[in-house]
Structure 1
Amino acid sequence: MGIDVLQEAVRTLESGQPAALVTVIASGGMTPAKPGFKMVVRPDGKTTGTVGGGALEAQAVQAALAAIRSRASTRLCFAEECGGLAQLGMVCGGEIELFVDYMSPGPEVWVFGAGHVGLAVGELAAFAGFRVTLVDDRPEYADEKRAPWAHSVMACDFVEAASKAPGGADSYVVIVTRGHAWDAQVLYEILRLERRPYYVGMMGSKPKVNSCFEGLRAKGVSDEALAAVHAPIGLAIGGDSPREIAVSVVAELVAARNGRDPKCLQGGAGYGGTSNA
């Protein structure tokens, strides 16, 4: 049973979807679940394996789906002093502790802007091992044929997409739209998310970034939130072509993924002379 469960978890992750692995880590009394029992839960609620069945398993599935949504692992404990499994209406009684392990398919970057810079950034990010979601409000730009390497392509309003961006340790956002007005709108929505991405970067010259930040402060965005934004985005390697900018940006993404804090363009002029349209 354990091998089947783990194989299904691997298949789910390889398909680009997250999963949750539920494991019985302690049990007592008459419960049929024993330590080591495992169950993998996919985002659609389908399961492989078991942690004992009945109301307990239904509760475990809901906890697993919540872990997938929040991208965070958790524990479930039904101890005797709290009523144990009887509180779930299970006649067998007993007590049990479960660990719900959120499993990520890997780091994901949302690239806002599918112009020549956004396209170059997305392609190189995919090559570097990121799952890429490419977003543009122009259907002719947000076209899967232009980005066969993308995990997902979204043709929709930038603000609407930004409000749906994932947060947490495996989430990255790169803002390279065709204009600074759109950049500011996307950044504002990202910073309003209840759970922010691990990395947020925005392209622009230093003066334009400062102007954008002033506008966001006027809307109530804190200095602390703005200080976490990588803007101007990228490493100071020189070069203004789309592919050179992509190397600069993706190098910073990889450094962030590896827990490094490289000297970036925030101390320099930034990329402002190249349009992403």
Structure 2
Amino acid sequence: MNCFQQLAQALEYGPAVLATVTSVRGSVPREVGAKLVVDSAGQAFGTIGGGAGEAKVLRQAKEVLQTGQKQFVDLDLSGLPQRQTQGVCGGHMRVWLERWQGDAAKALAQTVLQRLQTERSLTLVTPLEQGKGPYLVENAVQIDPAIAFVETLHPAPTLLIVGAGHVGIQLAQVAHLIGFQIAVQDDRPEWANIDYYPQASQILAEPLDRAIASLAQHQNLYAALVTRGYTYDLEALQLLLQRPSPCRYIGMIGSEKRVRQVYGAIAQAGITNEQLAGIYAPIGLDIGALTPAEIAVSIGAELIMVQRGGTGRSLSERLRRALVH
């Protein structure tokens, strides 16, 4: 969504080029669908991986900005000495450069934004033929990849922060940086306010049951319980576990003793062990975090792990073991 916000803003001042990763092979820095925008002044927003590969894309994008001749840019990241490569990651990327301009492009960018902001996915078709521009279709379609690039765009996930204290303030900053929309709930307006949470799209300074009911339509909801007491955790868990659309993630702050106390109390409400096993508590990855900012980073890392399907292991672990043995 941030990319299309930047694109919509750029189009107010002239044409812009949208660079999109359309295929990858091997080890590469970004995934299919990763994007960057180059505005009419040649300024770039976003990234498709950085380094020499991105520099090559930026050079070509500035040409496309002038000529309008949309094109592929192939990036060789194999690092093989006999080739002119743009990196040593070990793989290959293909990037499509499309110039957006005029009223039709502005309207399309705004439509994409509006749908994503209202929690709706959409399918964008980008024809590869010169003279044909991108368009939306209502449902995913099968089109020959030699004719068009088809991608389904999903709204950014929403992180509900329950408890607007010191950890919540830091977590909102971290979660915003990693692409989450932020909703904050606390019945204390002196804590749950725009001054403490400028990143939040929703500030719910109201009872928890009303706040969670207002998020009933969110299909991609993550929740972090960083409250001031286990009674608030207990209420939040009961409400979140009863949502018709299950949360993608529920994490709860606290020591193991506090977590067990909550689990013991909530079991009496008919919550099963299988449901409790899906909760991340104590919240976050074990990085030795102590301060609110460090705890927020550990929670942010766990959110990424769940969203992307990671393991949480150190990336250097295998190589370090190989060096020792």
Shorter-chain TM-score tier? 0.5 to 0.7
1:149 and 1:159 mapped to 2: Cα distance?
23
The counterpart of 1:160, out of the listed 210, 217, 236, is 210
- The answer to whether the 8 A contact 1:13-1:104 is kept is no
Q: Deviations along 1:131-190, whole A, 9 cap, x unmatched? A: 111111001111112111112111001232234435776321000111111011111110
Which residue, 203, 224, 228 being the options, matches 1:178? 228
Structure 1 length as normaliser, TM-score?
0.61
Whether the 8 Å contact between 1:17 and 1:104 is mirrored in structure 2 is: no
State the alpha-carbon separation in 2 of the partners of residues 225 and 18 from structure 1.
26
Deviation larger for 181-190 or 162-171: 162-171
Query: How many Å separate the matches in 2 of 1:245 and 1:181?
Result: 21
C-alpha distance in 2, partners of 1:255/1:231? 15
Tell me the distance in 1 between the aligned counterparts of 2:122 and 2:213.
28
State whether residues 224 and 250 of structure 2, in contact with CA within 8 Å, keep that contact through their aligned partners in structure 1: yes
- CA–CA distance in structure 2, aligned partners of residues 126 and 156 of structure 1: 22
Residue 254 of structure 2: which of 204, 208, 232 is its match?
A: 204
The correspondence for 1:11, drawn from 105, 113, 116, is: 113
| Ranges in structure 2 where 5+ consecutive residues have no aligned partner | 1-103, 125-134, 142-150, 314-325
| Seq. identity, % | 31
- Equivalent residues in 2 for 1:15-34 (5 A)? 16-19=117-120, 21=122
Amino acid at match of 2:288: G
Matched, 1:193 2:247: no
Q: How many angstroms apart in 2 are the aligned matches of 1:109 and 1:38?
A: 28
How well do the aligned residues superpose, as a CA RMSD in angstroms? 3.0
Q: 1:166 to 1:251 in 2, by over 3 A?
A: farther
Contact 1:163 1:190 in 2 (8 A): no
Structure 1: 5+ residue stretches without partners: 24-36, 41-72, 76-100, 264-277
| Corresponding residue number in structure 2 for 1:27 | none
Kept in 1: contact 2:158–2:181 (CA 8 A): yes
Distance verdict in 2 for CA 1:11–1:168, change over 3 Å:
closer
The CA deviation string for residues 67-101 of structure 1, in whole angstroms up to 9 with x for no partner, is: xxxxxx899xxxxxxxxxxxxxxxxxxxxxxxxx9
1:115 partner amino acid: G
Which whole-Å CA distance do the structure 2 matches of 1:260 and 1:167 have between them? 27
With the length of structure 2 as denominator, give the TM-score of the two structures.
0.53
What is residue 201 of structure 2 aligned with on the other side?
Answer: 151
- Residues 118 and 5 of structure 1, relative CA distance in 2, 3 Å threshold: same
**Paired residue for 1:62?**
none
* Alpha-carbon distance in structure 2 between the residues aligned to 1:159 and 1:132: 18
CA shift for structure 1 position 105: 2.2
Counterpart contact for 2:121–2:155, Cα < 8 Å: no
